[in-house]
Amino acid sequence: MSEITFLGFLKQSDVLKLGVTFMMSTQINVFVGEFVNTIVSPIIARIFKNHEKTLEEIKFKRFGVEFQLAKLLSATIRLLITLVIIFFIVKSLININVELYKPK
């Protein structure tokens, strides 16, 4: 029975890849949140003529019911931007792997 060292475990279990992926996803989340808050939200707030409110604070009242559709719109925009960023990262990684393992 062979003895597993700590460094061997790290190499075999891809812990470093998992750590890098976690850090990247955290930073992508921060970037997308700031992008939506600083660029997208003011544009949408201006469209709805609520200059003093953030996108999440805009509410609509119809038939006696208060809707927070702007909050849903903000979350949807964040999701779409995140998915686009992840798509381009994965696509570029696949292209890199194809180039590395291409027969010469």
Does this model's pTM top 0.75? My answer is: no
Chain center to CA of 9 = 30
For residue 62, the SS3 value is strand
In the structure, what pLDDT confidence band is assigned to residue 101 with cuts at 50, 70 and 90?
Answer: low
Q: Please tell me the distance from the alpha carbon of residue 55 to that of residue 57, in angstroms, as a whole number.
A: 5
Q: What is the pLDDT of residues 78-89, one digit of tens each?
A: 888 888 888 888
Encode pLDDT of 41-66 as tens digits.
778 777 777 665 666 677 777 888 88
* pLDDT cut 70: percent of the chain above it: 76
Using the predicted structure, report yes or no on whether residue 71 has a pLDDT greater than 80: no
Burial environment of residue 74 by CB neighbours within 10 A (0 to 12, 13 to 18, 19 or more): buried
Tokens of 85: 């960023």
